[in-house]
Chain A
């Protein structure tokens, strides 16, 4: 008997809020890896991933739609927008590390526009000026009542990642904040 292939149903697929200040868009599905690597193995893992894992706090590295985001001293979130099999790439790394597929755990949002930082600052207590949070900066932090990973992808563009069941809350909040943005 043939079994029909289950199709992926991403939450909030295609949703977008547009205001004069900012646009909030649900990002397309991506593959993601929660990566935990001790210092001695960082080089090997970087090589396997084809991207240098950043070791400075709040730093990220990015190449060809693949992003490595520093979350903690031995923790990275790797996002691949093309949906590549990230875990597979690490099969050759024998030294101790942990690579767990969290592609479906997270949902991404793109917040862009002149009011992007202000939209996020409606619920995020960090200083998002370019001096304190430059392009490429990344941080796990708070968005009102949920936890997010915040990644600045441009002067007026951020990627916000949260867990799947909080996506509705994040989108509703960001949409409300974008609408209320101070002119």
Chain B
């Protein structure tokens, strides 16, 4: 069972309290009816499912109840960092892919993480 840091509770909590909620940073259009079929397909059906770094949504459903975002490695299960919903997607430039990182569970500060200012990015 992994420990996941909830950005609202500001501490690591057991995985049992959380629920996965799909890929992050897919915004719903405020003009839904204007979407073309292709745009709707991309919005609703198409997901990256990458090997490696993924940005995804989680909910601390049996904790504070908040949805939040996480950068996780799908190979190692390592959570690189978690951040509040609505905060911009962080630019993670170095991920040390060879490391079995979930197991090492290093601090985000040990990674080369560049959090852009809130004004930048969406």
In this complex, what residue of A is CB-closest to B65?
A: A72
Subset of 15 A-B contacts with CB under 8 Å: A57-B8, A57-B9, A57-B64, A72-B63, A73-B64, A75-B65, A125-B14, A125-B17, A140-B17, A140-B62, A140-B65, A141-B13, A141-B62, A141-B63, A142-B17
Q: Is the interface of A mostly helix, strand, loop or mixed?
A: strand
In Å, the complex CA distance between A142 and B16 comes to: 7
Q: Is the interface of B mostly helix, strand, loop or mixed?
A: loop
Taking the closest CB of chain A, its distance from the CB of B86, in whole angstroms, is 12
Q: Give residues of chain B (1-44) contacting chain A, Cβ–Cβ below 8 Å.
A: 1, 8-11, 13-14, 16-17
- Asked whether any CB of chain B lies closer than 8 Å to the CB of A52, the reply is no
Taking the closest CB of chain A, its distance from the CB of B105, in whole angstroms, is 16
A72-B8, A72-B63 known; 10 new pairs, CB 8 Å cut-off, are A72-B66, A75-B64, A75-B65, A125-B14, A126-B13, A139-B63, A141-B62, A142-B17, A142-B62, A147-B62
- Asked whether any CB of chain B lies closer than 8 Å to the CB of A53, the reply is no
A126 touches B66 (CB 8 A): no
Taking the closest CB of chain B, its distance from the CB of A170, in whole angstroms, is 14
- Chain A interface, number of residues (Cβ within 8 angstroms): 13
B64 touches A140 (CB 8 A): yes
Q: Give residues of chain B (42-75) contacting chain A, Cβ–Cβ below 8 Å.
A: 62-66
A106-142 to B contact mask, C-beta < 8 Å, 1/0 = 0000000000000000000110000000000001111
A142 proximity list for chain B (CB < 8 A): 14, 16-17, 62
Q: Give residues of chain A (58-73) contacting chain B, Cβ–Cβ below 8 Å.
A: 58, 71-73
Q: Give residues of chain A (23-59) contacting chain B, Cβ–Cβ below 8 Å.
A: 57-58
Given A57-B11, A142-B16, answer yes or no on A125-B1 (Cβ-Cβ < 8 Å): yes
B16 touches A125 (CB 8 A): yes
A-B CB proximity, top 8 nearest: A72-B64, A125-B14, A57-B9, A142-B16, A72-B65, A147-B62, A73-B8, A142-B62
A141 proximity list for chain B (CB < 8 A): 13, 17, 62-63
A58 touches B16 (CB 8 A): no
In Å, the complex CA distance between A168 and B108 comes to: 42
Task: Select B64's contact among A71, A125, A126, A147, beta carbons within 8 Å.
Answer: A71
In Å, the complex CA distance between A126 and B66 comes to: 18
In Å, the complex CA distance between A153 and B21 comes to: 34
A57 proximity list for chain B (CB < 8 A): 8-11, 64
In this complex, what residue of A is CB-closest to B15?
A: A125
Q: Give residues of chain A (135-155) contacting chain B, Cβ–Cβ below 8 Å.
A: 139-142, 147
B14 proximity list for chain A (CB < 8 A): 125-126, 142
B1 proximity list for chain A (CB < 8 A): 125
Taking the closest CB of chain A, its distance from the CB of B83, in whole angstroms, is 14
In Å, the complex CA distance between A147 and B64 comes to: 12
